[in-house]
Amino acid sequence: MKRGNIIFLLIMTLATLPRQKAQAQKMDLKGCLEYALKNSRSLKKAKLDFDKNEGKLKEVLASGLPQINIEGDYKQHLKLPTTILPGALTGNPDADDISVQMGKEYNATATAKATQLLYSQSFLYAVKAAKESRELYALMLDRAEEDIIFDISTQFLKIGQLTEQKEFVDQSLKTLNESRRSTALRYEQGFAKSTDVKRIDVNLGRTVAKGKDLEREISRMHNLVKFMIGMPIDADLTLDFSATKDAPLLVSDAQLPAFSGFTNIKTLRTQENLYGIKIKEINSGYMPTLSAYASAGWQAQRDEFNFTSGSEPWFGMATVGLSLKIPVFDGFEKKARVTQAKLERDEVSLDILDAQENIRLEHKNALDGLSIAKDQKANAYANMNLAEEVYGQTRIEYRQGLTPLTELLQTETDWREASMEFAKQNFQTRIAELQLIKAQGRLKELSGK
């Protein structure tokens, strides 16, 4: 066989091979949260803010390290500067001053200077504040994680509710189709009217439309979850609701944890500490600052531009010294700044008290809300079972000709609406559990942290 034919057959064989589809991902609530904590774009932005603050910390630390600079200067005097010398230099005290042009036309200077901060209370407090701000940004990152966990959990549970309602609608469609077949058969046998079949068709149409609406909403919220967790919209994701359908989200605990464990309280405490450090930093401005410095340089003056020539020398110079700065009076600027910082710290202290009371309030409301949601769920469950029992009995009576079609359709509607209400109350119970978990500061436990 010719080589060209072999290549042609190989290409055709490869083209006809089935393409392997991307493997679908199946995630429960915990899986979605774990994926989000690694891929959520909003969390990545929060991490960038944390990294930017790390850069600011290094910037503060850098001011306490040696500072070395090298400078160069070149001048060409188009006209040499004039220096006035006293006439007494000539030996005659009454002689007039003498005007003398000094220097060379071309001048070049190279200087290297190093400085090192030896003592500064302001620098020490600035470093302390920068390190405390690291804790603040870490807490802000924790808060961002808690927010994304709560939002994703809410959307996940909402999709679970809609999915459960869709299952009830599909079950209702199944029973309606069975009723239609039996009614159509009875119509053919002369025991039912054509309007009976049409009435069932009307109910079928409404139920189908309800199912389509639920499908569209589930698809929309499904894509929203993928967006929130940082997954491509065209990715194949299947949500698993088996772990959250009936079991509690977390082991129930009605106790309110200590305030020190709440992220918002820790954030406010850190802000309060930062204002305390700021006050000390401002007051440290009254303390002296001591620095050491050293410099070395070379200077050359020429009648011609020949600085690279080795025939004429460069003149060296070197200096070492200490620089002491003692603040004396600043017009009460520092006093005014300290007063402002104290007022801001007092505001944060009040915010802490408000936050603590708000935690108590949210915890009590969450407990009450969960209790009410559980009662409503139990009532909805009982109503659903009762409606299902009535509908089942009515179907039997309808087949026996003891019940009119209108009553069958009404009991079917009652059963479907009771099932939808149970799914809604089941969702409300899950949301009430989520609100209690949030009120207790336990959101991260949902992701396994």
Contacts of 138 (CB under 8 A, 6+ apart): 50
**Residue 111 forms part of a structural domain:** no
Average pLDDT, the chain: 88
* Of 91-95, 147-151, 271-275, 277-281, minimum mean pLDDT range: 91-95
**Residue 394 forms part of a structural domain:** yes
Which residues are bridge partners to 83 per DSSP? Answer: 100
pLDDT reading at 87 higher than 80: no
pLDDT reading at 134 higher than 50: yes
Put simply, whether the predicted model's pTM sits higher than 0.85 gets the answer no
Confidence grade of residue 422 (pLDDT, cut at 50, 70, 90): very high
Residue 315: the pLDDT is 87
| CA angle, 40 then 43 then 45, to 5° | 115
Contact between 240 and 26 (Cβ < 8 Å): yes
**Residue 225 forms part of a structural domain:** yes
How many domains, in total, are found in the chain?
1
Q: What is the mean pLDDT of residues 126-153?
A: 94
Residue 191 has a CB neighbour count (10 Å cut-off) of 11
Distance of alpha carbon 402 from the chain centroid: 63
Residue 189: the pLDDT is 81
Question: Domain limits at 217?
Answer: 22-63+120-287+331-447
Which residues are bridge partners to 294 per DSSP? Answer: 114, 320
pLDDT reading at 224 higher than 50: yes
Residue 268 has a CB neighbour count (10 Å cut-off) of 21
Residue 289 has a CB neighbour count (10 Å cut-off) of 18
pLDDT reading at 237 higher than 60: yes
**Residue 357 forms part of a structural domain:** yes
From the list 329, 322, 430, 413, the residue with the least C-alpha distance to 376 is 430
Scanning the structure block, which residue is given the tokens 């808690």?
A: 146
The tens digit of pLDDT for each residue in 163-198 reads 999 999 999 899 889 888 888 888 888 877 888 888
**Residue 156 forms part of a structural domain:** yes
Residue 364: φ, ψ to 5° = -65, -45
Give the single-character DSSP code of 403.
Answer: S
pLDDT reading at 8 higher than 50: no
Residue 23: the pLDDT is 60
**Residue 176 forms part of a structural domain:** yes
The tens digit of pLDDT for each residue in 355-390 reads 999 999 999 999 999 999 999 999 999 999 999 999
Residue 147 has a CB neighbour count (10 Å cut-off) of 16
Residue 12: the pLDDT is 52
What is the length of the chain? 449
Distance between CA 294 and CA 159 in Å, rounded? 70
**Residue 95 forms part of a structural domain:** no
Q: What is the mean pLDDT of residues 108-118?
A: 94
pLDDT reading at 433 higher than 80: yes
pLDDT reading at 60 higher than 50: yes
CATH code at 34?
1.20.1600.10
Please spell the DSSP secondary structure of 10-72, one letter per residue: HHHHHHHSPPPPPPPEEE-HHHHHHHHHHH-HHHHHHHHHHHHHHHHHHHHHHTTS-EEEEEE
Confidence grade of residue 88 (pLDDT, cut at 50, 70, 90): confident
Distance between CA 263 and CA 439 in Å, rounded? 11
Strand runs (DSSP E) across 66-189, as ranges?
67-76, 82-85, 98-101, 106-119
Return the HEC string of 181-199.
HHHHHHHHCCCCCHHHHHH
Residue 447: the pLDDT is 86
Strands 25-27, 237-239: pairing kind:
parallel
Distance between CA 245 and CA 253 in Å, rounded? 19
Q: What is the mean pLDDT of residues 321-350?
A: 94
**Residue 173 forms part of a structural domain:** yes
